[in-house]
Amino acid sequence: MCKSDRKLIPPTFDDVLTAYARVCPYIHRTPVFSSRFVSSVAGAKLIFKCENLQITGAFKARGALNAVLGLENSAAKKGVATHSSGNHALALAYAASLRKAPCHVVMPRNALLSKKHAALDYGGKIVECESSASARERMLVKVLAEYGAEFIHPFNDARVIAGQGTCGLEFCSQAADLDAVVAPIGGGGLVSGVCIAFSELAPATKIYAAEPKNADDAFRSIRAGRIISDDSPQTIADGLRVPITELTWKFVHSKLTDVLTVSEQSIVDAMKIVWQRMKIVIEPSSAVALAAVLANSKLFARKRVGIILTGGNVDLERLPWQRHFPASPRDLQ
């Protein structure tokens, strides 16, 4: 079987364990926090897995490291490439830097400046493109052809999903007996990894994905029974503008309890509560899971709910509660 096939076979719990042994020395075992105030607002006992405190500022380091550290030397030498709105890009740049491998990242022009700068800081080479999924893919094909680099997809890749599963693995060991776990869904890499870990270690825990109403392709896909993808959805949750794909769909349609959708305003409100009361910096995509719990108070009433805070990479000069945000339609392109 050729390599490109292998990376499209759904990973197993064993793959997650192998990934954990591989990435463990290079990631943080991120802490879990709780807040009496936020729990009281939710009417539930909330436990937050703080991947915003992960190296490179997001859970994406787990998947990128698993993929890059597992490369043969010859492949690493040619380098790696990807398309990403930001967090996977800088995670991949970080992972590649550990192997002194070149890293090419196709990023949409409207990606956050802070994410672009961080990718550059880690030694990544940025190629800009328009913000639609199709534009990203077209540009990536060009980059792969030019450099012969290994493509590390941000989520439609078994190595990446197994890496993200290590977040679920840790969370299970840090917070026992969760009635539910809620994670944001964009392409579905994290959610797929969480499904693998929780199905094995905490099969009674219900698994919810949370999604912006403005980018609700997973929600509509589940209801339609097939993948529905939007090319360029508009949401403040910049990490969740991508559609699910074949590999993540396998987990999304078979393992998820449900997908919950939330408004843009509720994302901003949830983000602000976390900053104000928990004193940690999370990005809008991170706030989507809490927003979903707060918007579905009956569903989670008095339950013990795990929430994955996925990342903390924001432009501090452009916060969503400032009156200048969004400054122009370009921000929501």
- The amino acid that residue 7 corresponds to is K
Q: Between 279 and 298, name the residue whose CB sits nearer to a copy of itself.
A: 279
Enclosing H/E stretch for 126: strand 125-129
Q: Between 173 and 254, name the residue whose CB sits nearer to a copy of itself.
A: 173
Nearest to 199 by CA among 165, 175, 174, 226: 165
| Torsion 109-113-119-124 (CA) sign | positive
Q: Between 36 and 77, name the residue whose CB sits nearer to a copy of itself.
A: 36
Q: Could you list the beta-strand ranges (E) of 3-110.
A: 32-33, 45-50, 80-83, 103-108
Q: Between 168 and 320, name the residue whose CB sits nearer to a copy of itself.
A: 320
Could you identify the residue written with the tokens 């928990």?
Answer: 278
CB 97 → a copy of itself: shortest distance, Å? 12
For 252, counting Cβ atoms within 10 Å of its Cβ (0-12 exposed, 13-18 middle, 19+ buried), the class is buried
Give me the residues that bind a copy of itself (CB under 8 A), please. Answer: 31, 33, 52-53, 57, 114, 272, 275-276, 278-282, 312, 316-317, 319, 321-322
Residue 265's contacts (CB-CB under 8 Å, 6 or more residues apart) are none
First to last CA, the chain: 40
Q: Between 218 and 307, name the residue whose CB sits nearer to a copy of itself.
A: 307
Rg over CA atoms, the chain? 18
Q: What span, in angstroms and rounded, lies between the C-alpha atoms of 62 and 27? A: 7
Nearest to 188 by CA among 163, 220, 154: 154
CB 55 → a copy of itself: shortest distance, Å? 8
Strand partners, 58: 311
CB 275 → a copy of itself: shortest distance, Å? 6
Q: Between 228 and 319, name the residue whose CB sits nearer to a copy of itself.
A: 319
Q: What span, in angstroms and rounded, lies between the C-alpha atoms of 7 and 212? A: 28
Q: What span, in angstroms and rounded, lies between the C-alpha atoms of 19 and 197? A: 12
Q: Between 193 and 312, name the residue whose CB sits nearer to a copy of itself.
A: 312
CB 333 → a copy of itself: shortest distance, Å? 24
Q: Between 75 and 319, name the residue whose CB sits nearer to a copy of itself.
A: 319
Q: What span, in angstroms and rounded, lies between the C-alpha atoms of 280 and 268? A: 14
Under DSSP, is residue 138 helix (H, G, I), strand (E, B) or coil? helix
CB 316 → a copy of itself: shortest distance, Å? 6
